[in-house]
């Protein structure tokens, strides 16, 4: 009985909010490799649409920019980037108070901290 070969994939890092800029809602998409030749790796994209990439370039770097979808394809699943959590309003208020000149800070640091706090306060949803 012949053993089945393991299915190979190319991977793509995809963000559901890509049009609005990456917001951290990432997923890793898999594109099944259907055939390999010395020059190309053929894979299916979007269900059944055939596509290919340069085999030598992707094997040398582990990734390649694929123009038709304007994304990078990887040989191994990429790590999902984590965006740092923005500071909360109480954290920004404390940083502003700590930067106050009466508490040992200076005017420039206090003004910068106050601008960060006010910008975050203005962006926060109102109850």
pLDDT tens column, 50-102:
889 999 999 999 999 998 878 899 999 998 877 667 788 899 899 999 999 99
Say what the pTM is. 0.58
Instruction: Count Cβ atoms below 10 Å from residue 18 Cβ, excluding itself.
Output: 13
Would you say residue 109 has pLDDT above 80? yes
Question: Which of the pair, 29 or 15, is modelled with greater confidence?
Answer: 29
Residue 114 exposed, middle or buried by CB count within 10 Å (0-12, 13-18, 19+): middle
Would you say residue 44 has pLDDT above 70? yes
pLDDT average, residue stretch 105-110: 89
Instruction: Note the pLDDT of residue 69.
Output: 78
Question: Which of the pair, 84 or 38, is modelled with greater confidence?
Answer: 38
pLDDT average, residue stretch 24-40: 88
Long-range contacts of residues 6-12, Cβ cutoff 8 Å, at least 24 apart: 7/32, 7/33, 8/32, 8/33, 9/33, 9/43, 10/41, 10/43, 10/53, 10/58, 10/73, 10/74, 10/75, 11/73, 11/74, 11/75, 11/76, 11/77, 11/78, 12/69, 12/71, 12/72, 12/73, 12/74
Q: Burial letters for 23-53: b for 16+ Cβ neighbours within 10 Å, e otherwise?
A: eeebeebebebeeeeeeebebebeeeeebbb
Would you say residue 16 has pLDDT above 70? no
């Amino acid at each position: 009985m012949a053993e089945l070969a393991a299915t190979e994939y190319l991977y793509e890092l995809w963000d559901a909010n890509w049009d609005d800029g990456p917001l951290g809602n990432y997923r890793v998409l898999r594109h099944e490799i259907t055939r390999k030749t010395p020059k190309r790796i053929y894979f299916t994209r979007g269900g059944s649409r055939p596509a290919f990439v340069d085999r030598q370039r992707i094997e040398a770097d582990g990734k390649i920019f694929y123009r038709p979808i304007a994304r990078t394809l990887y040989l191994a699943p990429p790590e999902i980037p984590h965006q740092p959590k923005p500071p909360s309003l109480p954290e920004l208020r404390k940083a502003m108070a700590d930067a106050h000149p009466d508490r040992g800070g200076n005017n420039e640091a206090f003004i910068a901290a106050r601008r960060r706090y006010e910008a975050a306060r203005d962006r926060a949803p109102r109850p």
